[in-house]
A and B are shown apart, each in its own frame.
Chain A
């Protein structure tokens, strides 16, 4: 049981696909201009991760090694096409926003990584738990980045939905660069840096102000 909990938490936090593994950078950089887009992209990717994880885990003894990559890709592409069709039928607004980035989930290296390195080597239950952990980890990371960029660039959260929140008032002059592609790189860089600080257990806030302590650490690292 403990092992399964680990599988879940790993994807969510200590092996977060975005902030630690830096996998699937194309959607991370391209569609996180708003929290809405980030959330939807994260959920779409999670669904594919989930479906492909189950199928590829079940088929692990049937698929011969030599054709495993093409087989995985066909399975992944099937689930991506399902997401694409369903979102265009039921969520036309957001589907149009994300447009070609949904079909591109097929080549998101996070999904192939999980199928190849994990799902095809473990039982279905572990594959499901892993897919849920990584999927949620990916989703919160994208929503978080999208949220930061949206607040800075528009002053709102969850634009384009009915529950849009006006975070900053009329006085706020939007910082355009946050929602431009350059803003994606800068925001991601800063968040990854903060994540590293938080994750580094030997690093305490005191070190930041402790003068030479940080330097010594750097030298011995």
Chain B
């Protein structure tokens, strides 16, 4: 057969194969897409619910700097905030979900969603023994115990939790559910503040001031 006569057949066969492939894949995609979406949804849900123990449901909140979720209880009340945040670890990004209590701003739990740290060393950040250290904290000033041989991975998680705690001030503007709670507290009226409360307030103002300077590009 001469070369020029073959040309249409080449195009035809390859086109047919591609079309057949596309049809098969459309069919398979149709079958699996809902399942894959469900798996992704389930993952987020599990993560949010595991860091906000009292929550039974959650909803995502628009936020500029963080992936922010509200944990809701049965009566749709906000019982906690879950913040997904990531930073660079030793070998790749570490993705962490941090749960915060609404009232006290204490860390309720820390869950590592994904990472690529070295197995046996940095990968131990997922262990309860390490993650548990963050529970009940309001700051990272008191040092956490670092995993031996995995300083960088440990400090990366520490940095995430620190960022989230410091950024917690911002969330108030972004979460409609919280405004009411805070407004309620203001209505309590004048009263004597305990020493701890004064210190807390001062720290809050300082970190707020830091955020403002950070965002305005200052040193």
Residue numbers of A with Cβ under 8 A of B are 33, 59, 62-64, 66-67, 70-71, 74-75, 77-78, 81-82, 85-86, 88-90, 92, 96, 153-154, 174, 176, 179-180
Contacts and interface: CB of A to CB of B under 8 A. Distances in A.
Nearest to B18: A74
Interface string B89-128: 0000000000000000000000000100011110000000
A13 to B, nearest CB: 31
A88 B119 contact: no
B188 interface: no
A92 B36 CA distance: 8
A92 B13 CA distance: 36
Contacts of A82: 24-25, 28
Given A62-B13, A70-B14, A71-B13, A88 B21 contact: no
- Contact residues of B: prevailing secondary structure: helix
Contacts of B21: 74-75, 77-78
Contacts of A63: 13, 17
12 contacts: A64-B9, A70-B14, A81-B25, A82-B25, A85-B25, A85-B32, A89-B35, A90-B35, A153-B120, A174-B120, A176-B121, A179-B120
- Smallest CB-CB A-B distances: 3 pairs: A89-B35, A89-B32, A78-B21
Contacts of B43: 92
Interface of B: 6, 9-10, 13-14, 17-18, 21, 24-25, 28-29, 31-32, 35-36, 39, 43, 114, 118-121
A180 B21 CA distance: 37
A179 B121 CA distance: 11
Contact of A85 (B13, B14, B28, B121): B28
A148 to B, nearest CB: 15
Contacts of B17: 59, 63, 71, 74-75
Nearest to B24: A78
Contacts of A92: 39, 43
Contacts of A81: 25, 28
Contacts of B28: 81-82, 85-86
B25 A71 contact: no
A66 B10 contact: yes
A213 B180 CA distance: 89
A66 B32 contact: no
Contact of A154 (B9, B13, B32, B119): B119
A74 B22 CA distance: 10
A86 B9 CA distance: 34
A62 B114 CA distance: 46
B29 A85 contact: yes
A80 to B, nearest CB: 10
Contacts of A154: 119-120
